[in-house]
Structure 1
Amino acid sequence: MARTERIRKTDLGLRVWGVLVFAFLFLPIAVIVAYSFNTGRVLASWQGFGFRSYVAAINNDVIVSSVITSLQAALGTALLATVLGTLGGIALARARAGLWWAAALTGLLAVTMITPKIVDGIAFLPWFVTLGVDAGLGPFNNGMVRLIVSHTMFSVAVVTFIVRARMAGADRRLEEAAADLGATRWQAFRSVTLPVASPGILAGSLMAFTLSLDNTILSSFVQQPGYTPWPVYIFSSVRVALRPEVAAMSTVMLVLTLLALAVVGLVLRRSGESSTAIVKTIVR
């Protein structure tokens, strides 16, 4: 009885601790969402409930421009990371055990994911200057290109591991059957491999989109005038005073991010993949 009572108290204590941890993490976000309906001119000074801040945010050209820049960069990142990550994920899933290039690629992608973003930002800035100014490659002088390339560097690893997790359990005999029926490699890839990998591809593209929206450190290093993404705009705004319209647009972006993550979870659930399987394939 005493042992059972101790187990019950321990279980209750862990649950309470879990609730406190989640409250510590998410209460600040809830406060921002609540204060986005503040009708005052300063976020910290509550004047009343209303949608004035949302109207002001929509009518603010600088805010709208920064949001559009973030969405464009996120879309470009999702497209580029999906193409590269899909090819990498399928290649790793089909590689035989012990191949040096598969181990090297997996290690390189893993290092990419754990490298501090400030290190990546410091590395990308002079590299873009070298390519765009010294080497005369015009596209690298474009702020949007810089954002997409830098964001893709991290996102492509995520997409690769998600697609690899999806394809690791796929039956290769389907592709062999397509070849026996006379299909070329491209026809087998288009008709068999892509449909099988499509849940992982979609989930990876949505994750790349979400990660790009939230990328602040890299964006602050590589962004140029006229291409300031939303996270960088917020970072510069809080130095003066956080206004309700910033909280309002942040709430809109939060909802957009949650919707994207919800779609990712739904796709992975329907495809039979779990987050545990994806994590396992990273260290495989």
Structure 2
Amino acid sequence: MNTLLRIWGILVFIFLFLPIAVIVVYSFNSGTILASWDGFGVGAYIRAINNDVIVSSVVTSLIVAVFAAALSALLGTIAGVALAHAPGGQWWAVGLSGILVLTMVTPEIVDGIAFLPWFVTLGVDANLSPMNHGLVRLVIAHTMFSVAVVTFIVRARMSGVDRRVMEAAADLGASPFHVFKDITMPIAAPGILAGGLMAFTLSLDNTILSSFVQQPGYTPWPVYIFSAVRVALRPEVAAMSTIMLILTLLALGLVALVLRRSGASTKEVISTMAG
């Protein structure tokens, strides 16, 4: 039975990761159409790096993902710590949890339809010029979608912490700021790191919401791919996707290294990075 389960698990992993392997292999296609293999070469990588539209969309995605991850980590940490320390049955905690759950389960297309007129109202009718900037719109939209994920990860990390530790520090004269800095933050750090990494990944992968709130000149990478698929998927897209995959794996490795240096075990590193 255990052998069958192992075989089944291996087959599932092959099924999940085989498409990624195909994209990586075909990124070395020397032809002009991705699906038509014309020989091995690195021309697709050269063309992708020299393509201003592709580079601009990738830079836009990375900038938005960094800012969205930072804001999500900040807001999610505050909300997660507050929910973890809230006494049971508090109306604001129940209400906040409900809003966050509703945010996570709401289809992205609904969020996009709601965000677009809201940004137009704020930017045009209320004359708030930042709301007319493409990067600002994308960062706000992606942060709204990701902050709930970070909140629940941080809350799960802090839920098992004994509050008496913080109360003892306060009794010994530590200010609320020092209690938060010296006790709460070190305990919550792995959860914050995992949540920020998750927010970064969700932002890079966001297509539907981005397609609604984007503006000309600020087209994220997933939206560019979505529009390119309608015509013909070229090896340049696979090449740049492979580069971003490598960058993502390097980021994961860096996070794992930081967690290992903090004294976390292998099991704790895996569970933290998985959220």
Instruction: Give the Å deviation of 1:263.
Output: 5.4
Matches within 5 A, 1:109-258: 109-258=100-249
Q: What residue number does 2:21 align with?
A: 30
Partner-residue secondary structure (3-state), 1:210: helix
Instruction: Find the aligned partners of 2:213 and 2:53 in 1 and give their Cα distance.
Output: 19
Instruction: Find the aligned partners of 1:263 and 1:101 in 2 and give their Cα distance.
Output: 37
Q: What residue number does 1:61 align with?
A: 52
Question: % of aligned pairs identical?
Answer: 70
Moved more, 173-182 or 206-215: 173-182
Q: What residue number does 1:50 align with?
A: 41
Instruction: Find the aligned partners of 2:30 and 2:242 in 1 and give their Cα distance.
Output: 15
Partner-residue secondary structure (3-state), 1:50: coil
1:85-114 deviations in Å (ceiling 9; x for gaps) = 000000000000111111111121112111
Moved more, 71-80 or 262-271: 262-271
TM-score, reference length from structure 2: 0.90
Gaps of 5+ in 1: 1-7, 280-284
Gaps of 5+ in 2: none
Instruction: Give the Å deviation of 1:23.
Output: 3.1
Instruction: Find the aligned partners of 1:273 and 1:13 in 2 and give their Cα distance.
Output: 28
Q: 1:199 to 1:21 in 2, by over 3 A?
A: closer
Instruction: Find the aligned partners of 1:231 and 1:273 in 2 and give their Cα distance.
Output: 29
Instruction: Find the aligned partners of 1:92 and 1:125 in 2 and give their Cα distance.
Output: 30
What is the CA RMSD across the aligned residues, in angstroms? 2.2
Q: 1:182 to 1:18 in 2, by over 3 A?
A: closer
Partner-residue secondary structure (3-state), 2:184: helix
Instruction: Find the aligned partners of 1:99 and 1:265 in 2 and give their Cα distance.
Output: 36
TM-score, reference length from structure 1: 0.87
Q: Given that residues 158 and 204 in structure 1 are in contact (C-alpha distance below 8 angstroms), is that contact kept between their aligned partners in structure 2?
A: yes
State the aligned residue count.
269
| Alignment partner of 2:264 out of 264, 270, 284 | 270
Q: What residue number does 1:5 align with?
A: none
Instruction: Find the aligned partners of 1:51 and 1:30 in 2 and give their Cα distance.
Output: 16
Q: 1:258 to 1:114 in 2, by over 3 A?
A: farther
Instruction: Find the aligned partners of 1:108 and 1:199 in 2 and give their Cα distance.
Output: 24
Q: What residue number does 1:73 align with?
A: 64
Q: Given that residues 256 and 269 in structure 2 are in contact (C-alpha distance below 8 angstroms), is that contact kept between their aligned partners in structure 1?
A: no
> Partner letter of residue 143 of structure 1?
G
1:5-33 deviations in Å (ceiling 9; x for gaps) = xxx4xx55555444444333322221111
> Partner letter of residue 35 of structure 1?
Y
Instruction: Find the aligned partners of 1:236 and 1:73 in 2 and give their Cα distance.
Output: 19
Partner-residue secondary structure (3-state), 2:215: coil
Instruction: Find the aligned partners of 1:140 and 1:110 in 2 and give their Cα distance.
Output: 26
> Partner letter of residue 181 of structure 1?
L
Instruction: Find the aligned partners of 2:69 and 2:237 in 1 and give their Cα distance.
Output: 25
